[in-house]
Amino acid sequence: MWKELKTFFKFGIVVFVLISAAAGYGLGLTVEQDFLFSHFLFFLVGTFCISAGSLSLNQVQELENDQLMERTQSRPLVKGVFSRDTGVLISIGLMLVGLAILFLVNPLSFLIGLSIIIMYNGFYTLFWKKKWAFAAVPGAIPGALPGVLGYSAVNRDILGSESVYLFLVMFLWQMPHFWSLAIRYSDDYARGNFPVLPSIVGAGRTKYHISFYVWAYALLGLMAPFFVEYSYAYFLLVLPFSVLIVWKFIAYFYSENPKAWLPFFLITNFSMLAFLFAPVIDKWSPILFEIN
C-alpha cells in the first residue's frame, strides 16, 4: 500500500517541494534568530501534507484524463486500488492537517500554503490546464511558491530581494522543465485531452518558446548577486550551471534524437537545486565555519 500511496502523492515531486522549501527556510533565517530543529521539522511536515494532499487531489480531479493516457496507468485511482471517494478523503485530510500545521508555524505560511492549493487545484487544474496551451505559464506561479513558503516560515519580508529570487528561480525553471517533458509525451497528453503547447504548435515551435525562459533563467543565475549574498558557491555552482543549461538547450534544440530531451530535462532540475542552495551556502558557511 505504501508504494501505491507514494504514487498517489507524486512522492518524487513532493521531495522536490520539500527541498525547495528547505532552501527558502535556510535563506530566510537571519543571524539573529536561533535555528530550532523542532520548528524546521514541524514546517517540513506541514509542507509535506499540503503538497501530497494537493498533488493527490489533482489525480482525483483528472481521473478521467488519466484513464486515457499511457503514462498514468500505474496511478492507484486508475488501477482501482482505492475509490475516488477514498482519494478525496485522503487528499482533503492531508491538506487540512498541513494547513493547520503551517498556521502554527507562521500564519503567513498558512496563507501562502492556502494560495498554492487554490491556484493549483482550482485555477490551474480545473480551468487553465484543460483549456489553454500556455497554461504552464500562470500554472508556474503556485509551483514557484515553495521557496517563498519556506522563507515565510522564519522571515516576513517575502517581498524582499531574497524571496523574489527564490520565486523567480522556480518560476522560470518550470517552463523548460515542463515543456521539454510535454514534448516527449505530447501524443499521450493529446490522448488525455490536455492542450499542452507541443500538441498544439508542435515540438519545434515549443522549443522556441522554451528558449525565452532558458535565456531568462540563465541570466537570473548570472545576476544572482543583485538578489542574494554570494561567495564561493556562486562561482562554483551558479555560474557553471548558468552556462551549462544554455549549452544543453542548444544541443537539445538542434538535435533530431528523440532522447535528446532527457539530458536537458535533468540539467534543468540539477540547476534549480544549485540556484536555490548556493546562496544558502554562501550565507551560512562563513558563520558556521567562522570564516571572516
pLDDT score for 227: 97
Q: Which helix (H) or strand (E) holds 3?
A: helix 2-9
3-state secondary structure of 132: coil
pLDDT score for 290: 66
pTM for the structure as a whole: 0.94
| 19: nearest Cα among 228, 277, 236, 282 | 277
- The Cα–Cα gap between 71 and 66 comes to 8
Cell output for 284: 551560512
Torsion angle of the four alpha carbons 186, 187, 192, 195, in this order, in degrees rounded to the nearest 10: 50
The number of beta carbons lying within 10 Å of the beta carbon of residue 168 is 19
pLDDT score for 32: 85
Cell output for 2: 505504501
- Extended beta strands in 204-274, E state: none
Are 76 and 2 in contact by the 8 Å Cβ rule? The answer is: no
Instruction: Write down all domains in the chain, each with its CATH number in brackets.
Output: 1-155 (1.10.357.140), 159-292 (1.20.120)
What φ, ψ does residue 78 adopt, rounded to 5°?
A: -65, -40
∠ CA 113-84-129, rounded to 5° = 55
Mean pLDDT per 10-residue section of the chain, whose length is 292 residues: 87 96 97 92 98 97 94 92 94 98 98 98 95 95 98 97 98 97 93 93 95 98 96 96 97 92 95 97 83 48
Are 196 and 133 in contact by the 8 Å Cβ rule? The answer is: yes
State the number of CA atoms in the 13 A half-sphere of 150 facing the CB. 30
Q: What is the 3-state secondary structure (H, E, C) of 78-111?
A: HHCCCCHHHHHHHHHHHHHHHHHHHHHHCHHHHH
pLDDT score for 146: 98
- What amino acid is encoded at 292 in this protein? N
